[in-house]
């Protein structure tokens, strides 16, 4: 739980919109603390599709890069797949740029209205599966805004790891 703009990772993920306009929420915090350079780079890129991800420098932030991932709005067609793609494309970009660590927010759960429990399951399952393959990533952080979201992600992680890595007999 905390402020994603203060994380100690190589990159952080911005829960972006398709126009890559840094408005409110996570994007607004990035804009305020990162300075105008990040928005200028986003403007040059011009945008990306739902499920897509692009990378810029970190501007005045502690991180080297910001990965702008566009998650779905609640009620869109194929919204679960689009959130999975936004997560996966962020991880792929981190590897492409030889990054060792990345921090994610709960993509699409703010003004896009995506349910936090579904978000947690999709994002964490995608991350776990990705990390099981060949990757240069050493650390993936989920920096969540409030205690409720943190608890939802903790429960989802516990459930996913129990399913993937069942314990031997408990005493």
Query: Nearest-CA neighbor of 12 among 73, 99, 71, 138?
Result: 99
CA dist 97 and 92 (Å) reads 9
- pTM over cut 0.85: yes
Partners of 16 in beta bridges: 70
Across residues 66-92, what is the average pLDDT? 96
Across residues 85-112, what is the average pLDDT? 96
CA dist 158 and 171 (Å) reads 19
DSSP state string for 92-119: HHHHHTT-SEEEE--TT-STT---HHHH
Neighbours of 3 (CB within 10 A): 11
Which stretch of 6-10, 23-27, 102-106 has the lowest confidence by average pLDDT? 23-27
Residue 165 pLDDT greater than 70, yes or no: no
Q: So what's the pLDDT on residue 124?
A: 97
Residue 166 pLDDT greater than 70, yes or no: no
Put the strands of the sheet holding 53-57 in their side by side order: 53-57, 65-70, 11-16, 101-104, 139-142
CA dist 71 to 49, 82, 100, Å? 9, 6, 23
Domains of the chain, first to last:
4-164 (3.40.220.10)
Per-residue confidence band for 91, with pLDDT thresholds at 50, 70 and 90? very high
């Amino acid at each position: 739980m905390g402020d994603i703009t203060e994380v100690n990772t190589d990159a952080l993920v911005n829960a972006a919109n398709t126009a890559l306009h840094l408005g409110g929420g996570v994007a607004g915090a990035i804009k305020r603390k990162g300075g105008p350079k990040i928005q200028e780079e986003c403007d040059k890129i011009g945008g990306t599709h739902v499920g897509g991800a692009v990378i810029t420098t970190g501007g005045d932030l502690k991180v080297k890069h910001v990965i702008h991932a566009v998650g779905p709005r609640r009620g869109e067609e194929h919204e679960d797949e689009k959130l999975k793609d936004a997560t996966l494309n962020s991880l792929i970009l981190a590897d492409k740029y030889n990054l060792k660590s990345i921090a994610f927010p709960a993509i699409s759960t703010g003004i896009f209205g995506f349910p936090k429990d579904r978000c947690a399951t999709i994002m964490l399952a995608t991350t776990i599966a990705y990390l099981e393959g060949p990757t240069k990533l050493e650390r993936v952080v989920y920096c969540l805004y409030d205690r409720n979201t943190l608890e939802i992600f903790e429960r989802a992680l516990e459930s996913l790891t129990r399913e993937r890595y069942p314990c031997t007999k408990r005493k």
